[in-house]
Amino acid sequence: MRADRVKLIVVLLVLAVALVALLWPTKEGFSSKLKLGLDIKGGARIEYLVEIEREVENPSAVVDDVWTVLRNRLDAAGYTEATLKKAFRENNSYIVVEIPGVTDTAQAEALIGSTGVLYFAQVLNEYYGDDPTKIPEYVFEANREKAVWLKGRDGKWYLVRKEIMGRRDLVLEAPRILYARPEVETRVGRYGYKVSFELARDHVGVFERITRALYVPEGTYDPRKRLAIVLDDVVQFAGQVVAVITDGRAEITGNFSLQEAKDLAAILRSGALPARLVKTSAGWVAPLLGKDVVDASLKAGIIGLALVLVYIVVYYKTMGIVAALALLYNTVLLFGVMALGRFILTLPGIAGIIITIGTTVDGNIIIYERIKEELRTGKPVKTSIALGFERSFFTLFDANVTTILAGLVLYYFGTGTIKGFAITLIIGVMGSMFVNLVLSRVLLDALAPHIKLPKVAETQQGGSQR
């Protein structure tokens, strides 16, 4: 009895979380909070010109790299359904970004992230006042050093040069950073947080030469031997190099607060673009599917679901009612998880939901047929239910786990709508396992007195009584 109560509590808690995720009030009032894809609702559209330097040998490879970075950024933000298209016009390369469910282009640009190039630079001077580019002596210094004055996040101005020590072989632009994370500072005499990061192997050599060129012993200071991290023409950080980095693994220390360390780590790991992007247009893209197509698809789905529910109730009677409740429960659970995870629903995603409806019904049918087999042998209803679940467990477990593994492969290797299909498939199948093995068991145990014995079992029980 205690185990049944625990199962019931778990079922009710899961349902409550799903309903809260779906119906919690927002500024717009109660809503499902489901984000809809481009094919259903439309979204924001931004076009960028990819600025590629003339001396680049393979411009198409640069465009491919930019596409990959933007794709990773959108996926990391949860917009796996966003589309990225390459376009070529008048000897120029463009990338068109379409983000579903976003009506504000400023919000879309924030999701895309920085459109500038991240690079490391040498700091030659700093200035605390107003714009030094308007002061002749500082303009002269910048021209003499072949450097540029840039403002820092800390409000100061820095004179930086991309070519470290004036050497062309000491340039580190658009590096690929494997990881960057904030960590607690543990060294004596320091406090707060630091940022640890690691460069990809092909950047390790040049980074070692740069740190060797700018190295100063810890405890000393050289204002012209500082390393700066620059992104979007803003100096994100500038500090001394106190060790020669030979393996690409470095630490940025500065007694950061946790938020400062998080921000700097995010800048490093967001992915540096290998070329600058210039926005050429921004607007709204209409739904790819017409309203009549969406309405027809929803109507077909509702009719199909209703027919399935009627069939299983008529054929399986009491157990069919349990299957219908399990199906409705799994539907609420699936949409609740999608709302909670801010996943995007598209037409391929709806196809994944329809498949999970089939797996939920199929799982219940396997269990019910096992129960009926036990009932036909004359066993009591409660015993038959227990044996039915026990003997169908591994069949259901194997079938659902293999489907989930297939969904994970689709999600990992797929992009765009393929990921959307995989997400709904994985969530739905996991929900199907839960309702088949937990919810259905709770309901069947509660409705056991209303389950009728097959005629064969009734005859056997009547004979044994005589």
- Label residue 416 by pLDDT band (50, 70, 90): low
- Label residue 171 by pLDDT band (50, 70, 90): very high
Q: Which of 443, 312, 329, 449 is nearest to 380 (CA)?
A: 449
pLDDT at residue 181 greater than cutoff 70: yes
Structure confidence by residue, pLDDT tens digits, 250-261: 999 878 888 788
Domain 119-272 top-level CATH class: alpha beta
Residues 6+ away with beta carbon under 8 Å from 178: 197, 198, 199, 200
Average pLDDT, integer, range 85-110: 82
Of 30-34, 84-88, 300-304, 435-439, give the lowest mean pLDDT range: 30-34
Structure confidence by residue, pLDDT tens digits, 105-124: 777 777 676 777 789 999 99
Q: Which two tokens stand for residue 279?
A: 């926005």
The enclosing H or E element of 250 equals strand 249-256
What are the Cα distances from residue 227, in Å, to 119, 250, 266, 291?
Answer: 10, 12, 19, 55
User: Which residues belong to CATH 3.30.1360.200 in the chain?
Assistant: 119-272
- Label residue 25 by pLDDT band (50, 70, 90): low
Structure confidence by residue, pLDDT tens digits, 149-169: 999 988 899 999 999 999 999
User: Which residues belong to CATH 1.20.1640.10 in the chain?
Assistant: 2-36+289-465
In this structure, are residues 457 and 381 in contact, taking their beta carbons and an 8 Å threshold?
no
**Beta pairing partners, 435:** none
Q: What is the CATH number of domain 43-114+281-285?
A: 3.30.70.3400
Q: How far apart are CA 334 and CA 386, in angstroms?
A: 27
How many residues make up the chain in this entry? 466
Structure confidence by residue, pLDDT tens digits, 323-378: 888 888 888 888 888 888 777 777 777 778 888 888 888 888 888 888 888 888 88
Residues 6+ away with beta carbon under 8 Å from 236: 152, 153, 228, 229, 230, 264, 267
Which of the listed CATH numbers 2.60.40.420, 3.20.20.60, 1.20.1640.10, 3.30.429.10 matches domain 2-36+289-465? 1.20.1640.10
Q: How far apart are CA 333 and CA 429, in angstroms?
A: 11
Q: Tell me, what's the pLDDT at 180?
A: 86
Q: Which of 147, 114, 322, 298 is nearest to 228 (CA)?
A: 147
**Beta pairing partners, 345:** 36
- Label residue 273 by pLDDT band (50, 70, 90): confident
Q: How far apart are CA 182 and CA 261, in angstroms?
A: 5
In this structure, are residues 43 and 99 in contact, taking their beta carbons and an 8 Å threshold?
yes
Average pLDDT, integer, range 257-279: 79
Average pLDDT, integer, range 418-439: 86
Q: What are phi and psi of 227, to 5 degrees?
A: -105, 130
Average pLDDT, integer, range 392-404: 88
Q: How many CB atoms lie within 10 A of CB 73?
A: 18
